[in-house]
A and B are shown apart, each in its own frame.
Chain A
Amino acid sequence: MRVSDQQVTPPAVVPGASAVSGTTGASGNTLASADTTAVRLTGVSKVYGSGQAQLLALDQVSLTVADGEFVCIIGASGCGKSTLLNLVAGLDKPTSGEVDTGGRRVGLMFQEPALFPWLTAARNVELALCARGVPRAERRTLTAELLETVRLSGFGDKRPHELSGGMRQRVAMARALAQNADVLLMDEPFGALDAMTRDLLHDELERICTERTLTVLFVTHNVREAARLGDRVIVLSSRPGRVIAEYDVPRRAPRRIDSPEVAQMAAILTDRLREEMGRHGS
């Protein structure tokens, strides 16, 4: 059962109705028990540098993501979004606090596809399987399946530079899926794409997540994207990054980027973000 389903706010979202401030509210908002929590951050802080040049990137961030939940994290520049994902991915250690993914496999996707340019699309996907230790005989079929999932069946033998930006990002998605990740961390994955492609990829991502019951932690600075995709949207403050608000998004499928509910949610998020940005203006 999805935790966020219990928390659904009425369709007409009143600004601030489900917003919580402070860090305690973040974890209090989701009543997740241990076994259904995919990602749990407890009082996580991250400090870069030392002495005078110290930079507090994340300050006491606590949040949980339930299994199968799609959580968007939104914030202006300097909110430590990428730091947060690196910590969850285990590429970096928090200065204090705890990151717990309960041993789940974590896949990471970036704004850039970060494909290996010397390998074909299929080989890029296959390498992830190889790194996971999938036997050679199974790799080929699995690769074909994954390319089919991102609807790139005919393009396996193309090299990244021969594909369009949207196609590369889909190969990157197939590669992330090849890691057999339960949790997909996405760092503005569609940020560099044009609006039309992005819109289609939103639909695709939604389909794939449903098919594979993925848990997603999706970082973006596009409020509409957050409102379009998220079951829940977490707003981070900037310098340092703190959880300042959290919104449950009424789940009424199918959602579209231009539907009124999305626009309404986006407006709320924009206001909250501007308020936060204004704090740094004076």
Chain B
Amino acid sequence: MAVDQALHGLDNLELRPGIKTGSGFARRARKLWTAAWPKLLAIALVLLVWEIVHLTGWKKLVLAGPGTVLSDLWQMAQHGQLWAAIGVTMKRALTGYMLALIIGSVVGVLVARIPPLRAAIGSIITGLQTMPSIAWYPFAIILFSEGTAAILFVMVMGAAPSIANGLIAGVDYTPPLLLRAGRTMGLRGIALYRYLILPASLPAFVAGLKQGWAFAWRSLMAGELLVIILGQPSIGVLLSNYQDQSDMVGAISIMIVILVIGIVVDAIFSKTDRMVRRRRGLLTDAQPA
């Protein structure tokens, strides 16, 4: 039938032809290289500037050069102590973040759904977000005494508001047209949330999760420096020890470890964020990483 054929032809004409460059492996390698070289260059530049500062002799007695620090870090990596410390810290990070995730999500859904609750605590949540988490420590330490609970509490106070706010923003920005379509389809109550509002709010929620992680990680580091728990050598404890010993090389090494963990986790979130957005057509392949 003519209409049928014309329609199929039009469909094929309107679809973007898939342009593939090279084989799968070569393409992936090139993509990886494109993403990697600016980062490698940036690291090289930082090391270069650091080395130059070191060579000028500024604060020569305390400020070590990159060579010394990196070889010290390499030494540390050979010993179990650093890895044990990373293990303790990451376990806390995960526990605290999971707690914040659960609490933040529940509060977010409730506040988004119940208007009086929003009027009551909506602005408080935003207020909490701006509060430096370190200011919670005196309260937490008095409440829980010096222990893991105090650290986890502050992490939750730091991260949960961001997670809740991300979810609330997502629910608020669900396109009204989609809501209209959903209601016409007969989606009501829980089903409306499950099939429409929650999936629609996913990009904003992921953004909230990412921000929440940054807050949780900062709270954790502050906590580990402030709340020293005996018998649990965490990253914070190592850092604190090096400070006590005025060991700049060790301190910088640990800072590098903290930085690397932060970057790795952030990369995971960024990847998730990009995946979510690409699936929705909010991101094209042409956009830079």
Instruction: List the A side residues contacting B281 at CB < 8 Å.
Output: 117, 159-162
A 29-44 to B, binary, CB cutoff 8 A, 1 in contact else 0: 0000000000000000
Contact of B280 among A151, A161, A163 (CB under 8 A): A161
B3 touches A127 (CB 8 A): no
Q: B289: CB under 8 A from chain A? A: no
Q: How far is the CA of A107 from the CA of B181 in the complex (A)?
A: 9
Asked if B202 and A127 make an inter-chain contact with CB atoms under 8 angstroms apart, the answer reads no
Binary A-proximity of B193-215 (CB < 8 A = 1, otherwise 0): 00110011010000000000000
Is B30 part of the binding interface, using a Cβ–Cβ cutoff of 8 Å? no
**Complex Cα distance A91/B176, Å?**
13
Q: Which of B9-17, B93-101, B103-111 is found at the contact surface with chain A? A: B9-17
- Selected from B7, B10, B191, B280, the residue in CB contact (under 8 A) with A131 is B191
B280, A179: Cβ atoms closer than 8 Å: no
**Which residues of chain A are within 8 angstroms of B282 by Cβ–Cβ distance?**
117
Name the residue on B nearest A112 (C-beta): B177
CA distance A115 to B180 in the complex (A): 11
Given contact pairs A167-B14, A179-B186, A110 touches B6 in the complex (Cβ within 8 A): no
Q: Is the CB of A110 within 8 A of B7?
A: no
A141 interface residue per 8 A CB criterion: no
Query: What residues on B are CB-neighbors of A91 within 8 Å?
Result: 180, 183-184
- Interchain Cβ contacts within 8 Å, total number: 85
Are B184 and A118 neighbours in the complex by a CB distance under 8 Å? no
The residue that B186 contacts in the complex, of A131, A160, A166, A204, with Cβ under 8 A, is: A131
Q: B180, A110: Cβ atoms under 8 Å? A: yes
Q: Which of B157-186 contact A (CB under 8 A)?
A: 175, 177-178, 180-181, 183-186
Residue A203 at the B interface, CB < 8 A? Answer: yes
Q: Which of B1-36 contact A (CB under 8 A)?
A: 3-4, 6-8, 10-11, 14-16
B187 contacts the other chain (CB 8 A)? yes
A273 vs chain B, min Cβ distance (A): 27
B199–A164 CB distance below 8 A: no
Q: Are A116 and B14 in contact (CB under 8 A)?
A: no
Distance in angstroms from B20 CB to nearest chain A CB is: 16
Is B79 in the interface zone, CB < 8 Å from A?
no
Q: How far is the CA of A165 from the CA of B191 in the complex (A)?
A: 28
Chain B residues within an 8 Å CB radius of A112: 177
Chain B, residue nearest A206 (CB): B3
Asked whether A175 and B3 contact (CB < 8 A) given A118-B202, A167-B11, the answer is no
Q: Which residues of A contact B175 (CB under 8 A)?
A: 114
Q: What are 20 A-B contacts with C-beta separation under 8 Å?
A: A91-B183, A107-B184, A108-B180, A108-B184, A116-B196, A117-B279, A118-B199, A119-B199, A131-B185, A131-B186, A132-B185, A159-B281, A160-B281, A162-B16, A166-B10, A166-B11, A167-B11, A175-B185, A200-B6, A204-B7
Interface residues of B (CB under 8 A from A): 3-4, 6-8, 10-11, 14-16, 175, 177-178, 180-181, 183-187, 191, 195-196, 199-200, 202, 279-282
